[in-house]
Amino acid sequence: MTDELIRAVALADTPEKMVAAVKNLAAVPDVAAIPTLIAVFGYNNPTAATVAVAALTAMGAIAVPQLLSLDDYNYGARAYSIRTLAAIGDPRALDVLITAAATDFAPSVRRAAAQGLGNLDWHQLNSPQRETALKKALETLLLISQDSEWSIRYAAVVGLQALAQIPDLQPPIHTRLQQMLTTDDEKAIRARVQLAIS
């Protein structure tokens, strides 16, 4: 059954058939569909990719290992993978998100990773891994909150706001947000900071 649905995705020769085939495949919660759903990210079909993101997110942790191997040559595909990992929130994605947020050349990838760094499910980690992981996520977000591109700083604020739910991290995050409120030259960023601290 799943094999047939996978074949239909491979055979789809129009954008519309692709969307329909991916929807059909997404409707069966079968782990065998994971590689095909991830491959859809690379087909430059945003509607199909959105369906695949939702299906993989619903599968959750089981899809994470395969999502972690990113497409190094297609930044559009990478952004979808990062967005899915961010939505699942599995802390195994931490290192991939840190690398993407700090070093990817594509802003869409970096923004998705920054947002994701605030939203990992830290409870899945035991002390002291948890403390180390939180420290790394915080450091990365503080670093990219100084990026020259406004949309990266915007995503960093969103990530920091989420991370501030961890009581121990509130003081450094609050300090940085206050700093941005007085020094950032984009009023859109200052407004987002205001929303984050309100």
Q: Name the site residues for another protein (rule: CB under 8 A).
A: 46-47, 107-108, 111-112, 114-115, 150-151, 154-155, 158, 187-188, 190-192, 194-195, 198
- Find the distance separating the first CA and the last CA of the chain, reported in whole Å: 51
In the complex with another protein, which residue's Cβ is closer, 5 or 89? 89
- Look at residues 113, 116, 92, 95 and name the one whose alpha carbon lies nearest to residue 104: 113
**Assigned token pair, 105:** 């050349």
**Assigned token pair, 158:** 């969103």
In the complex with another protein, which residue's Cβ is closer, 130 or 174? 174
Q: How far is the CB of 19 from another protein (least distance, A)?
A: 12
Q: How far is the CB of 38 from another protein (least distance, A)?
A: 20
In the complex with another protein, which residue's Cβ is closer, 27 or 195? 195
Angle between helices 107-117 and 75-88 (to 10 degrees): 10
In the complex with another protein, which residue's Cβ is closer, 6 or 98? 98
Class of residue 73 by CB neighbours under 10 A (exposed 0-12, middle 13-18, buried 19+): exposed
What are the angstrom distances between the C-alpha of 156 and each of 41, 80, 165? 24, 18, 15
Q: How far is the CB of 120 from another protein (least distance, A)?
A: 15
